[in-house]
Structure 1
Amino acid sequence: MDNQPKTIAASLAAPREREIVLLDLLDRALDKGVVIAGDIVISVADVDLIYVGLKVLLTSVDRMQHLGEQR
């Protein structure tokens, strides 16, 4: 492990790199599109009271327009 003290510049650089990676990830997800699907069941005493089916499409408007033109 590195026992050298970090400078202020080095400690500030790490969050900036993480921010760039997060922005790249978000940009790629919006460009390609992301589909999230799941189910939620709320039960009491083994009796299902509420069932929720969830399907979410997350993408940019430009991408959806492009896909719509291809159909």
Structure 2
Amino acid sequence: MRAAGGGPPALAEEPLPDRQIALIDLLDRLLSGGVVLTGDVVLSIAEIDLVRISLRALIVSISKENPSPWPAPAPLRGSHDR
């Protein structure tokens, strides 16, 4: 099936590429743009909800273009520094 006007076929009909992506490459792509993780945990007994926990996390890489919002920690002093 071609798109209207005789252009290339619709994207939905194109097969997915049969290639593998290394985990480190996938993590690099995700962290460069940021990842939002969400989830809900519900503890219940006899179908009565006792505890509900909503989890949300934003994971991004820190770089010069995207600096950390927290100040850098002070260096740790060991016992030999005294």
Q: TM-score, normalised by structure 2?
A: 0.50
Structure number with the bigger relative contact order (C-alpha 8 A, sep ≥ 6) is 1
The correspondence of residues 15-30 of structure 1 with structure 2, limited to 5 A, is 21-30=22-31
Structure 2: how far apart are the matches of 1:64 and 1:55? Answer: 24
CA change 1:56–1:64 in 2 (3 A) is: farther
- Structure with the larger helix share: 1
**1:1-71 mapped onto 2 (5 Å cutoff):** 21-62=22-63, 65=66
Bigger share in strand: 1
* Identical positions, percent: 43
The alpha-carbon deviation at position 26 of structure 1 amounts to: 0.8
* C-alpha distance in structure 2 between counterparts of 1:32 and 1:22, whole Å: 16
SS at match of 1:55: strand
- What is the TM-score of this pair, normalised by structure 1? 0.57
| Partner-residue secondary structure (3-state), 1:25 | helix
Contact 1:33 1:57 in 2 (8 A): yes
The residue type paired with residue 61 of structure 1 is: I
Pair 63,30 (structure 1): closer, same or farther in 2 beyond 3 Å: farther
* Root mean square deviation, CA, Å: 2.3
Structure 1 portions without partners, runs of 5+: 1-17
